[in-house]
Amino acid sequence: MELTNDLFLRAARGEAVERTPVWLMRQAGRILPEYRAVRGRLSGFKELVSTPELACEVTLQPVDLLGVDAAIIFSDILVIPEAMGLDYEMIEKKGPWFEKTVASEADLNQLREADPEEGLHYVLEAIRLTKQELNGRVPLIGFAGAPWTIFCYMVEGQGSKTFSKARKMLQQQPALSHRLLDLITRSTIRYLKAQIEVGADLVQVFDSWAGILGPHLYRTFALPYLQQICDAIQEAPITVFAKGAYYALPELGQLDCQVIGLDWCMDVAQARAAVGPEKSLQGNLDPSLLYAPKPDLKRAVKIMMDDFGSRGHIANLGHGVYPDTDPEQVKFFIQTVKEHKF
């Protein structure tokens, strides 16, 4: 299906665009009253994720209500460990919780490589439905968590400021760590390929916990698995977003991906110099600037846009939009990006 608005994909490929495309991480979520209305009818977050018709509905909301240049399928990175045999719960106001974790070889032996058609069919159906409902208006983004980030949750069992259990395993059981990371990687490759097959136009890999590893550990336990994913996925463009891993930008620039996502602490000029001219960059407004008065927000957006320049940039936040952000501020951010003149 031909896209009416293909700015996002053209910018991802580094092509010239009439204006910079814009979307937001976590745009299909808690900032919108319309999302909360859907969510309020359900038993919990996982019911929304696992019901294709509802996941489709909330995926479309930012396109209809905010005017973004791309939709991202409503799902969660933790569907992968669940499809591998490690169930999780999403506890309100606390986050994810795994009753069982991976702490030994016996635990690992109970897991399986995820089969997308079997364990993740609801995500694939949501993508099919969303692609149909979008009817070519904007591209659709699929996604998965990076192996290191998924490893963190599977070993720790919940969110953490330090993920000390996960990092302890790297130190004390490196061979077991690599085996688990390899299993996650193989599962993720199959999952992303399946997403593309049913309609995702680009896939993003979220390494949300990249920044809690130092350079040596990241290069040992994270980058090789990101490289495997990028080498395997040739069917659609890929964005790699490694939050906090500023030290790894030169290596990220060598990956066979099209876009590198920047968090708001990364300097644009330094990132461009590290990554090189061939990759497009995504980001990287500080999400807290959406709390600022409109004149201050407008100035910040202008600085960001001028720093990135007119080519090879996808405007976004440096991380997900915060849930208490005023949707009118989000609309103002999007409109300011769209109206920017270089």
DSSP 8-state symbol, 210: G
Helices 121-134 & 52-65 angle (0-180, nearest 10): 40
H or E stretch covering 97: strand 95-97
Tell me if 272 sits within 8 A of 327, measured CB to CB.
no
The alpha carbon torsion through 291, 38, 43, 68 (nearest 10 deg) reads -50
Give the span between the Cα atoms of 150 and 94, in whole angstroms.
18
Q: Directed axis angle between helix 164-172 and helix 174-197, to 10°? A: 120
H or E element that contains 317? strand 313-317
Active site residue 247: no
Residue 255: helix, strand or coil by DSSP?
Answer: coil
Which of the following is catalytic: 13, 19, 39, 299? 39
Q: Is 19 a catalytic residue?
A: no
Catalytic pick from 30, 128, 179, 219? 30
Q: Is 231 a catalytic residue?
A: no
Angstrom CA distances, 96 to 88, 123, 274, stand at: 7, 19, 34
Identify the CA nearest to 138 among candidates 35, 59, 38. Answer: 59
Catalytic residue among 35, 88, 153, 246: 153
Residue 140: beta bridge partners? Answer: 71
Identify the DSSP state of 22: B
39 is known as an active-site residue? yes
Alpha carbon of residue 203 to chain centroid: 8
Strands 89-91 and 95-97: antiparallel
C-beta of residue 83 within 8 angstroms of C-beta of residue 99: no
Q: Which of 6, 35, 69, 76 is catalytic?
A: 76
Whether 24 and 330 have beta carbons less than 8 Å apart is answered as: yes
Partners of 145 in the beta sheet?
A: 206
Is 153 designated active site?
yes
Distance, in Å, from the CA atom of 131 to the CA atom of 198, rounded to the nearest integer, reads 8
Active site residues: 26, 30, 39, 76, 153
